[in-house]
Structure 1
Amino acid sequence: MSESTICNFGNIQERDMDMMFLECLLTDDGFLRLFLRKAEITGISVEVLNVALSETDPEYGESDITALLSVDGKKHALLIEDKINAPAMPEQCDRYSKRAKKAMDKGEYEKFHVFIVCPKAYYKANEEAKKYANFITYEDCIEYFSKKTDTLSKIRCAQLNQAKAKGPGSTWEKNEKAMAFFEKYRTYMATHGYDLDLRNKKDSNGWWPHYGTSFGNAYIYHKVSDGVVDLTFPNGANDVSTLKLAAIWLNAHGVPNIQALQTGKAAALRIKVPVLDQHKPFEEADMDDVEACFKAVQELSNLATAVGQISGFVKTK
């Protein structure tokens, strides 16, 4: 019986895929090794100790799949976000790392590796998906199972293909309240003298207002519901130590509220600001809080401009 006719899963959901991946991690050593190779985990002795669905931290939210491994006697955790075509939530990747670090500090494991598993089309279309340190596509899984001849592997291929056929979906969910909030947010910026390059489209939710800067490819995110403004340097994670030195200098020279940190594959200079509730009318927000947010965005925008101007004096051969 061919894979295409062996079964029909109907309206397949991510929970169905979570269950399949849980079973595969527990029972199929070859499937597990897809993850080990991707994360460059090496060891003579590898054992799966436990696989759990929907482990939740009250501060940092939920991991779809958490696999606890013993690798040469040391505990490793695989934290896996599974997507068919659902929109990514703001800072979803970053929260995975925060959950893992918190668990590691509590002694639950010694190392962790964060993954996203999704169709290739979803990965290409979704910027949040690209922030994960490791990714495995549904197509990678299909390639693995298609080389096997047993009936269960054919069922796995059918399930993966039917999930993949749903398409990449939308990368965001329309929210009328958030859209109305964002339009008033935009109007406030325009009428209060801020010189900022706001790049969100007018018909977007504006969960994270996105600002361009005049310093290369650096950009600013106002993460409204998290209460932070980040001047982000793409692919800067490897140089975050340098950025931390810059933050120390800024702290000592009139910018005491700034810190440097890694955000996925990027690095950022961050200012904490009041949280604004985008599910409520903009008029109900405390205008002092709104002003504090825009001042932080302007401060980081000015900083990016100054750094860009200074770097223009540097001559390279």
Structure 2
Amino acid sequence: MLPKVEEVMTDVVIMDLVHSSDEFLHDLCGRAGVSGRMLHVRRSVFDSSLGETDVEVVVENEDGRHALLIENKIGAPVTMQFERYQLRGRAGIESGSWISYKVVLFSPNGYFPHLSEEHRRHVDIHLPYEEVIDFAAKRPAFAFKKALLEAAVEGHRRGYIKIADESVMTFYRSYYDIASREFPQLRMEEPVIKGTGSTWVIFPPLNGMRRVSLVHKYMEIGCELSVPTRDVAGFCNAVRPFLDEDMVLRETKTIAYVNVRTPPTHHLDPFEEAAPKIRTALAALDRIRAFSERPEVFQAIRHFAVL
């Protein structure tokens, strides 16, 4: 029934348990040493340039608000997310969003032992999938949640470890630092493990259209808006009158691209040489993003794109 479980699915499981089970919420808060009524639970929170929180739970009692910042991992490699969770937690205290926080890792049991000490020290609480499975097993109403988490655990056991190329990972981390600080509106996601063949930076979907995205092909042809469509020619004809002078349409059988050529770079280049090129590309991507939000262009995307 569940050949592959994505992290977004297990995000929803924990959000639903927090909403639907006072007992589960009480247990989760107990691990954090707090109590209170739930104020809100949110997924994929991007409130600052400090990256994304998978699931944010905030409870409130007579003392104030307390946050549980949950990083959900089935098997994806670790980058620097946990350190950024701590930064976001402290930023929340400074801004008055909450008075305390805990960083929670929600993952299969087998994931945590493979974390380095550098990553573990940023995790306040480990909530294993297996313990949530045991909780759900005693409650028939949660049978589907139990089955989904069991499939996720099995997928983790069958999973493989993708081998990172350290020079590529260093490049992506430095790229992410610039993008998250200087162009947070592009919402670049923290880089997962990257191998030697990784030469594209793919940004999150635009405007709620899950298959329409920005791409930086940094060793090749520059920055693009990627629009999957069954009518490539129709889309191109619709947006052509609105292109900026340096924008070019590229067509494949199933995808239309709006391209802006930017200087190519390489992950082996000295980063002081690559950084200005990356900033140029990010500025071009932001301009393409704004182009996609023009009413005429947005309507064309909505009409022609396979969403």
Output the TM-score relative to the length of structure 2: 0.53
Decide whether the 8 Å contact of 2:83 with 2:119 is kept in 1: no
Measure how far apart 1:175 and its partner are.
Answer: 3.9
After superposition, the Cα gap between the structure-2 partners of 1:50 and 1:171, relative to the gap in structure 1 and judged at 3 Å, is farther
User: Does 2:20 align with 1:34?
Assistant: no
Taking the aligned partners of 1:179 and 1:118, their CA distance within structure 2 comes to: 23
Measure how far apart 1:73 and its partner are.
Answer: 4.9
| Map of 1:146 onto structure 2 | 137
Taking the aligned partners of 2:62 and 2:160, their CA distance within structure 1 comes to: 42
Aligned with 1:88: secondary structure?
A: coil
Taking the aligned partners of 1:120 and 1:178, their CA distance within structure 2 comes to: 29
Taking the aligned partners of 1:106 and 1:147, their CA distance within structure 2 comes to: 40
Letter in 2 for 1:25: V
Measure how far apart 1:105 and its partner are.
Answer: 1.0
Letter in 2 for 1:123: F
Measure how far apart 1:32 and its partner are.
Answer: 1.2
| Map of 1:137 onto structure 2 | 128
User: Does 2:9 align with 1:19?
Assistant: no
| Map of 1:98 onto structure 2 | 87
| Map of 2:242 onto structure 1 | none
Indicate the percent of aligned positions where both proteins have the same amino acid: 24
Decide whether the 8 Å contact of 2:167 with 2:268 is kept in 1: no
After superposition, the Cα gap between the structure-2 partners of 1:171 and 1:136, relative to the gap in structure 1 and judged at 3 Å, is farther
Measure how far apart 1:12 and its partner are.
Answer: 1.1
From 70, 74, 83, the counterpart of 2:60: 70
Decide whether the 8 Å contact of 1:177 with 1:280 is kept in 2: no
Taking the aligned partners of 1:94 and 1:176, their CA distance within structure 2 comes to: 19
Measure how far apart 1:82 and its partner are.
Answer: 0.5
Letter in 2 for 1:21: I
| Map of 2:255 onto structure 1 | none
User: Does 2:65 align with 1:79?
Assistant: no
Measure how far apart 1:21 and its partner are.
Answer: 0.8
| Map of 2:266 onto structure 1 | 280
1:51-62 aligned at under 5 Å gives the runs 51-62=41-52
| Map of 1:267 onto structure 2 | none
Ranges in structure 1 where 5+ consecutive residues have no aligned partner: 1-7, 182-203, 206-278, 288-317
Ranges in structure 2 where 5+ consecutive residues have no aligned partner: 172-194, 197-264, 274-307
After superposition, the Cα gap between the structure-2 partners of 1:153 and 1:106, relative to the gap in structure 1 and judged at 3 Å, is same
Letter in 2 for 1:280: H
User: Does 2:2 align with 1:9?
Assistant: yes
Taking the aligned partners of 2:65 and 2:82, their CA distance within structure 1 comes to: 22
Output the TM-score relative to the length of structure 1: 0.51
Letter in 2 for 1:141: V
Measure how far apart 1:35 and its partner are.
Answer: 1.5
Decide whether the 8 Å contact of 2:105 with 2:127 is kept in 1: yes
| Map of 2:245 onto structure 1 | none
Aligned with 1:112: secondary structure?
A: strand
Measure how far apart 1:37 and its partner are.
Answer: 2.2
Aligned with 2:155: secondary structure?
A: coil
Taking the aligned partners of 1:180 and 1:96, their CA distance within structure 2 comes to: 20
Q: Give the number of aligned pairs.
A: 182
Taking the aligned partners of 1:112 and 1:285, their CA distance within structure 2 comes to: 35
Measure how far apart 1:156 and its partner are.
Answer: 1.5
Decide whether the 8 Å contact of 1:145 with 1:153 is kept in 2: yes
Taking the aligned partners of 1:120 and 1:105, their CA distance within structure 2 comes to: 33
| Map of 1:126 onto structure 2 | 115
1:206-255 CA distances to partner (integer Å, 9 max, x unpaired)? xxxxxxxxxxxxxxxxxxxxxxxxxxxxxxxxxxxxxxxxxxxxxxxxxx
1:288-303 aligned at under 5 Å gives the runs none
Letter in 1 for 2:137: S
| Map of 1:213 onto structure 2 | none
Taking the aligned partners of 1:48 and 1:79, their CA distance within structure 2 comes to: 14
